[in-house]
């Protein structure tokens, strides 16, 4: 796409309110398998938004991304980029990947080893017929965006992992695509570099205002980078929302356990008020806690439930200190593990499974001593306890 | 895809079908008269002397070669891979040369050394007081076995096994030693069982070579009426006064049936891969040979000399003798044979043909094979496993059998007769003969490289062709150079697949050498010179190409290449 299309597209963005990517009823089953890899999936990515597909391996997130890119063909469904149809199974339409105007960064970066950095980044510009006079300039600008300006003549194989990733990003951004696709781009980097790149990509995206579809299995990455997250499992979206919504109000057990850690207390429903708020009495104690069921299931009095609390919402204090009996749970801290940024206590509470609570290193609690656990916040999530009590 | 399968099918399946059908045609002259269908060919075949015997002989030779070469190759590979023998890298290079060494050159050399009465070795041995007459006779079953061993029999296995032994996970043996086992015990209880897998693989590959000998058996066997399957067919078709097509066809059909049984077995064994390809960063510690270092080196160097240097030397010396083996001629030394060769128009024509065919094969093969490999590995087209099977199966077909089928196809099918004897036929046959190795090498590279480099090209806005030319081929280039080199060398050396199809004008150096050096013509010296030229051509291309490919960074090791190579 030649340069003049850039201004056309900004004008497009201003006047048209079409989402950057709209997927409707996408399905794909691989030959020889019975379960669909992608099962009736629909989602919308707005302009300038980072949209993340999060899930365990095999959930269909990478397949979805590849269908968006045109590297796989869906069985049914449609995909529109800014209102333009790119995939439409009812018309037998599936645009070739080179015609979709996307940029993509692969998990392995896919830097071409027989080309220099400049040749790598220039490749999409040449393929999309940018005027020759402009190419060197655009390459320099793209490299400057990712902090690799000056590396033009470096041969591809002589780059470190982090450098390859930046060049891959520059190559994807050089032709100013309307959608950027990232396939687990940070998973091959060491922890420190990963954090650094996360921040850089987020800043870059805000600066360019480009829509991003991001695939990862790392929930920390998803929470920190995304505007919207779709958690997937077995080809279907389990929950779609903002990171905070997914964290505070997971809609099912799978989402609850995939995003962040949860401490589960066993108990039963004692009372239900008119607004649906439940009073739960915890097994093995007199402690009463209020909460809501995010699933929306109605639970009558006496229903066995799990109360889900994020570990950072539980305060642990030595039993030697004056307890606040209201809402405090008694227990014994059996082991204390110092892991650097916190101390992890394995606490045994009568009537409950062993749970792990976090404390700080400033108020150490000796192993084997009694503790009080106090829950922060007034409303917690309540889950029906099934007979098969697994968290998977 | 369909077009590709049709083309390959015509080349491979049609001749086979013709062979099978014609075996039931009992007319006197199947090329001319009307066909009579019946079983009499098959019935009479068993009565014809030598037909069944030739099949048995094929198995016999194959078995002897395999049984002797395997232990020797294992021993050499162990020494190369697991001891501190000096110059081990250089030794491997020379084994590579031994692998490339033309079987014709090797055979002619050994004829000059060990022919009864006039062989150099016999003359030498005769000088010893307690030996009378010539103890060595190359024109015998042991002679044929020896010549085959001296050919690629040992070298091929060494090339396969050495990297496999070298790549063994050192941790396995360390665990054995740490558990208290002695060095020997570890070798026997840990090393050898783990190494069983590549050895089995090598044996399985050998299985397919049962019917593939030709030049050596032809040059040596006809002297004492010893025929293997391939030379029997050649004799029936070419050397009899009246071509005995019917008999040749029955023989070929029986062989086809046997091959049809062998292929699935071999395929099953080689694709099972019961071991994991181990590439650990901890190489096993090398056994220190101590004071046996140089003696061991001496033995290996001697083996290499016998495999490569000796035949080459003999060919050179013999070519300057008036009559090789005769020390009483005047003059003794002469350049007559060299002059004969270079001034003979047959020679220049053969050289030209060889060069054309080999260069075209060397350049076209990698491109064609990369496309075929791409079709099989990277697309989801429906015919691709059929394509894969056809290509795999084609290697098991002995050259002579294909040659026979194609010959009949040309003679019988109206319109194709005009192609017979042209250089185009030779080129097609030679390129297709190398398909199995080439396609499988490149398939392996495609699998190893993964699809993302190519996909990155597509999502960058490049169409399929641009991506293939700018991304796929450059990345594939080191392996393509390797495949091109193997194709060139195979083209320069091949005889059995083209000998029935070559006409007077389209001889290659190899077919010419085979003809004039045969016992019937007896121009051993000139034939030796021709095979020397083939040797120079082969090495002259193979060695630079090999170092070029290595410098470009050939990522897979020769073990994977060679494991797909079915020795031509």
| Chain A closest-CA separation from residue B450 CA (Å) | 10
Between A31, A96, A171, which is nearest B460 by CB? A171
* A320/A289 same-domain check: yes
Q: How close, in Å, is residue B484 to chain A by CA atoms?
A: 20
Q: Do B462 and A103 make contact, defined as CB atoms within 8 angstroms?
A: no
Searching chain B, which residue's CA lies closest to the CA of residue A124? B460
Q: Both A290 and A214 in a single domain?
A: no
Strand order in the sheet with A50-54: A102-105, A179-183, A211-216, A50-54, A228-233, A236-241
d(CA A355, CA A340): 19
A340: region left, alpha or beta (phi > 0 left; psi from -120 to 50 alpha): left
The count of CB pairs under 8 A between chains A and B is 69
Which residues of chain B make contact with A104, given a CB cutoff of 8 A? Answer: 455-456, 459
Whether residue A221 lies inside any domain: the answer is yes
Give the model's confidence band at A93: pLDDT under 50 very low, under 70 low, under 90 confident, else very high.
very high
Only one residue has tokens 């940029």, namely A103
CATH code, domain carrying B308: 1.10.3720.10
Dihedral angle over CA of A236, A239, A240, A242, nearest 10: -150
Is A133 a member of any domain?
no
Task: Name chain B contacts of A124, Cβ cutoff 8 Å.
Answer: 460-462
Strand A370-375: give its sheet, edge to edge: A314-318, A370-375, A328-338, A343-348, A355-359
Q: Among B196, B210, B130, B127, which residue's Cα sits nearest to residue B165?
A: B196
Chain B: residue whose CA lies nearest to A123: B460
The domain of A270 spans 262-382
Residue of A113, A127, A181 lying closest to B460 (CB–CB): A127
Chain B residue numbers with beta carbons less than 8 Å from the beta carbon of A175 are 460-461
User: Does A127 sit within 8 Å of B461, measured CB to CB?
Assistant: yes
Using a CB-CB cut-off of 8 Å, the residues of chain B touching A103 are 459
Strand partners, A373: A316, A329
Q: List, as ranges, residues 160-189 from A with C-beta within 8 Å of B.
A: 168, 171-172, 175, 181
Work out the minimum CA distance from A323 to partner chain B, whole angstroms: 57
Question: Hey, are the CB atoms on B474 and A107 less than 8 Å from each other?
Answer: no
Residue for token pair 């056809």 = B390
Give yes or no for B551 touching A (CB within 8 A): no
Pairwise CB contact (< 8 Å): B471 & A112: yes
> Is there a single domain that holds both residue A204 and residue A90?
yes
Least CA distance to A101: which residue of chain B? B461
Considering only CB atoms, which chain B residues are within 8 Å of A98?
Answer: 458-463
Interface membership of A128 toward B (CB under 8 Å): yes
Write down which residue in A213, A236, A256 finishes a domain. A256
Percentages helix, strand, coil for chain B (3-state, rounded to 5) are 75, 0, 25
| Pair A238, A318 in one domain | no
Cβ–Cβ gap A123/B474 under 8 Å: no
Whether residues A108 and B452 touch (CB distance < 8 A) is answered with yes
Distance to chain A for B9, nearest Cα, Å: 27
The CATH number for A276's domain is 2.40.50.140
Cβ of B457 within 8 Å of Cβ of A123? The answer is yes
**DSSP annotation of A60:** S
Question: How confident is the model over A140-156, as a mean pLDDT?
Answer: 92
ipTM of the prediction: 0.82
Tell if the CB–CB gap between B450 and A98 is shorter than 8 Å. no
Query: What's the CATH code of the domain at A61?
Result: 3.40.50.300
Phi, then psi, of A307 in degrees rounded to 5: -100, 125
Encoding tokens for residue B452?
Answer: 């993302």
Q: Which chain B residues touch A181 with a CB distance below 8 Å?
A: 459
Q: Are residues A229 and A334 in the same domain?
A: no
> Within a domain: residue A369?
yes
**Do both A80 and A229 map to the same domain?**
yes
Residue that is last in its domain, among A224, A256, A288: A256
- Shortest Cα distance from B459 to chain A (angstroms)? 5
A100 in contact with B, Cβ within 8 Å = yes
Range of the domain at B373: 2-564
Taking CA–CA distances from B460, the nearest residue in chain A reads A124
Residues A57 and A8 in one domain: yes
Choose from B461, B481, B552 for mutation: most chain A CBs within 10 A: B461
Report CA torsion sign: B168, B172, B178, B179. negative
By C-alpha distance, which of B428, B397, B418, B552 is closest to B498? B428
Instruction: Look at residue A164 and tell me if it is in a domain.
Output: no
Among A32, A102, A106, pick the best mutation site for testing chain B contact (most B Cβ within 10 A).
A106
Q: How close, in Å, is residue A121 to chain B by CA atoms?
A: 9
Task: Please tell me the total count of domains within chain A.
Answer: 2
Supply the pLDDT for residue B38.
73
In sequence order, what are the beta bridge partners of A194? none
Together in a domain, A58 and A198: yes
Whether A110 sits inside 8 A of B452 (CB atoms) is: yes
A229-250: per-residue pLDDT in tens?
A: 999 999 999 999 999 999 988 8
Give pLDDT tens digits for A16-53: 578 999 999 999 999 888 899 999 999 999 999 999 99
Same domain, A94 and A33: yes
| SS3 annotation, B287-299 | ECCHHHHHHHHHH
Per the model's pLDDT, the better-predicted residue between B402 and A255 turns out to be A255
Chain B residues within an 8 Å CB radius of A96: 458, 463
What is the structure's pLDDT at B479? 86
Indicate whether A134 belongs to any domain. no
A111, A127, A169: best to mutate for the B interface, most B CBs within 10 A: A127
Domain closes at, from A223, A256, A289: A256
The answer to whether residues A271 and A369 belong to one domain is yes
Are A88 and A193 members of one domain? Answer: yes
pLDDT the model gives residue B277: 46
DSSP code at position A318: E
Task: Please count the structural domains in chain B.
Answer: 1
Who among A99, A107, A112 is closest to B453 (CB)? Answer: A112
Rounded CA separation A365/A373 (Å): 13
Q: What is the pLDDT of residue B27?
A: 65
Binding-face residues of B in 448-467 toward A, CB within 8 A: 450, 452-453, 455-463, 466
Does A13 have pLDDT greater than 70?
Answer: no
The pLDDT tens digits along chain B (568 residues) read: 667 667 666 666 777 777 777 777 766 666 666 667 777 777 776 777 777 888 888 889 888 988 999 889 888 988 888 888 888 888 988 888 888 888 889 999 998 888 887 888 888 888 887 777 677 888 888 888 988 888 777 888 888 888 777 777 667 777 777 777 777 677 677 777 777 777 877 777 777 677 777 888 889 988 888 988 888 888 888 876 677 777 788 788 778 778 778 777 776 766 655 444 444 555 667 777 788 888 889 999 999 898 888 999 998 988 888 887 777 777 778 888 888 888 888 888 899 999 999 999 999 999 989 988 998 888 887 778 878 877 777 777 778 877 887 787 777 777 777 777 788 888 888 888 788 878 888 888 888 788 899 999 999 999 999 999 999 999 888 888 888 988 998 899 888 888 888 777 788 899 999 888 887 777 888 888 999 999 999 999 988 888 887 777 644 333 333 333 332 2
Q: Are residues A294 and A251 in the same domain?
A: no
């Amino acid at each position: 796409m030649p340069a003049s299309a850039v201004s056309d597209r900004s004008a497009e963005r201003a006047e048209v309110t079409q989402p950057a990517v709209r997927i409707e009823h996408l399905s794909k089953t691989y030959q020889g398998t019975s379960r669909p890899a992608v099962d009736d999936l629909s989602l919308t990515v707005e302009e300038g938004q980072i949209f993340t597909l999060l899930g365990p391996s095999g959930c269909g997130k990478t397949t979805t991304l590849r269908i968006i890119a045109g590297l796989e063909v869906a069985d049914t469904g449609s995909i529109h980029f800014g209102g333009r149809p790119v995939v439409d199974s009812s018309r037998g339409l599936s645009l070739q990947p080179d015609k979709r105007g996307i940029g993509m960064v692969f998990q392995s970066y896919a830097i071409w080893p027989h080309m220099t950095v400049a040749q790598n980044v220039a490749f999409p510009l040449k393929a999309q017929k940018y005027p020759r006079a402009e190419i060197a300039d655009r390459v320099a600008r793209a490299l400057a965006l990712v902090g690799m300006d000056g590396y033009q003549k470096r041969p591809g194989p002589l780059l470190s992992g982090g450098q390859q990733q930046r060049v891959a990003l520059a190559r994807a951004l050089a032709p100013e695509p309307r959608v950027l696709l990232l396939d687990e781009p940070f998973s091959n980097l060491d922890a420190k570099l990963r954090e650094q790149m996360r921040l850089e990509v987020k800043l870059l995206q805000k600066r360019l205002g480009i829509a991003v579809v991001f695939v990862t299995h790392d929930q920390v990455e998803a929470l920190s980078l995304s505007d919207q997250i779709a958690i997937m499992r077995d080809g279907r979206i389990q929950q779609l929302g903002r990171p905070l919504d997914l964290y505070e109000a997971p809609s099912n057990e799978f989402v609850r356990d995939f995003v962040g850690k949860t401490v589960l207390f066993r108990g039963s429903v004692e009372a239900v008020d008119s607004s649906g708020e439940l009073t739960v009495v915890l097994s093995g104690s007199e402690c009463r806690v209020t909460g809501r069921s995010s699933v929306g299931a109605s639970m009558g009095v006496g229903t066995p439930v799990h109360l889900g609390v994020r570990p950072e919402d539980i305060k642990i204090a030595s039993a030697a200190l004056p307890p606040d009996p209201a809402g405090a749970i008694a227990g014994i801290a059996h082991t204390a593990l110092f892991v650097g940024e916190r101390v992890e206590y394995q606490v045994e509470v009568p009537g409950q499974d062993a749970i792990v609570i976090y404390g700080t290193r400033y108020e150490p609690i000796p192993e084997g001593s009694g503790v009080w656990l106090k829950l922060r916040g007034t409303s917690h999530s309540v889950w029906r306890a099934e007979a098969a009590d697994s968290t998977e | 895809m369909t077009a590709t399968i049709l083309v390959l099918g015509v080349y491979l399946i049609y001749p086979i079908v013709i062979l099978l059908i014609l075996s039931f045609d009992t007319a006197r002259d199947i090329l001319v008269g009307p066909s009579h269908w019946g079983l009499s060919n098959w019935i009479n075949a068993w009565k014809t002397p030598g037909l069944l015997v030739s099949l048995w002989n094929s198995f016999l030779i194959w078995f002897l070669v395999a049984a002797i070469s395997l232990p020797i190759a294992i021993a050499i590979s162990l020494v190369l891979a697991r001891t501190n023998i000096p110059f081990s890298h250089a030794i491997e290079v020379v084994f590579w040369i031994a692998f490339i060494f033309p079987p014709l050159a090797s055979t002619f050399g050994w004829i000059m050394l060990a022919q009864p009465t006039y062989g150099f070795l016999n003359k030498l041995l005769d000088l010893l007081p307690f030996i009378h007459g010539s103890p060595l006779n190359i024109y015998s079953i042991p002679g044929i076995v020896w010549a085959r061993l001296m050919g690629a029999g040992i070298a091929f296995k060494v090339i396969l096994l050495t990297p496999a032994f070298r790549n063994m996970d050192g941790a396995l043996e360390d665990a054995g030693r740490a558990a208290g086992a002695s060095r020997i015990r570890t070798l026997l209880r840990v090393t050898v069982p783990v190494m069983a897998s590549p050895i089995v693989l090598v044996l399985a590959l050998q299985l397919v070579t049962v019917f593939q000998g030709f030049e050596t058996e032809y040059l040596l066997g006809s002297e004492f009426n010893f025929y293997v399957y391939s030379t029997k067919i050649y004799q029936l078709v070419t050397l009899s006064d009246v071509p005995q097509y019917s008999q040749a066809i029955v023989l070929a059909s029986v062989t086809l049936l046997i091959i049809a049984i062998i292929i699935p077995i071999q395929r099953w064994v080689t694709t099972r891969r019961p071991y994991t390809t181990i590439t650990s960063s901890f190489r096993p510690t090398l056994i220190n040979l101590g004071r046996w270092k140089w003696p061991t080196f001496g033995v290996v160097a001697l083996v290499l000399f016998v495999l490569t240097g000796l035949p080459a030397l003999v060919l050179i010396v013999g070519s300057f003798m008036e009559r090789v083996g005769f020390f009483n001629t005047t003059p003794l030394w002469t350049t007559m044979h060299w002059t004969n060769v270079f001034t003979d128009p047959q020679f220049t024509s053969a050289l030209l043909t060889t060069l054309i065919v080999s260069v075209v094969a060397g350049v076209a093969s990698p491109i064609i094979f990369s496309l075929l490999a791409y079709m099989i590995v990277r697309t989801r087209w429906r015919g691709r496993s059929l394509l894969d099977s056809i290509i795999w199966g084609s290697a098991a077909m002995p050259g002579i059998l294909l040659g026979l089928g194609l010959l009949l196809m040309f003679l019988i099918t109206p319109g194709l007769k005009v192609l017979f004897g042209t250089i185009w036929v030779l080129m097609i046959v030679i390129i297709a003969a190398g398909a199995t190795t080439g396609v499988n090498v490149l398939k392996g590279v495609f699998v190893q490289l993964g699809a993302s480099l190519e996909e990155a090209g597509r999502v960058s806005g490049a169409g399929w062709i641009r991506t293939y030319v700018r991304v796929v081929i450059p990345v594939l280039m080191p392996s393509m150079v390797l495949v091109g080199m193997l194709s060139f060398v195979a083209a320069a050396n091949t005889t059995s697949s083209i000998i029935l199809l070559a006409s007077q004008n389209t001889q290659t150096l190899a077919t010419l050498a085979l003809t004039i050096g045969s016992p019937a013509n007896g121009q051993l010296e000139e034939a030796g010179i021709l095979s020397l030229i083939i040797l120079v051509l082969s090495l002259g291309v193979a060695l630079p190409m090999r170092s070029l490919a290595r410098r470009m960074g050939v990522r897979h090791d020769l073990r994977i290449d060679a494991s797909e190579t079915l020795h031509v």
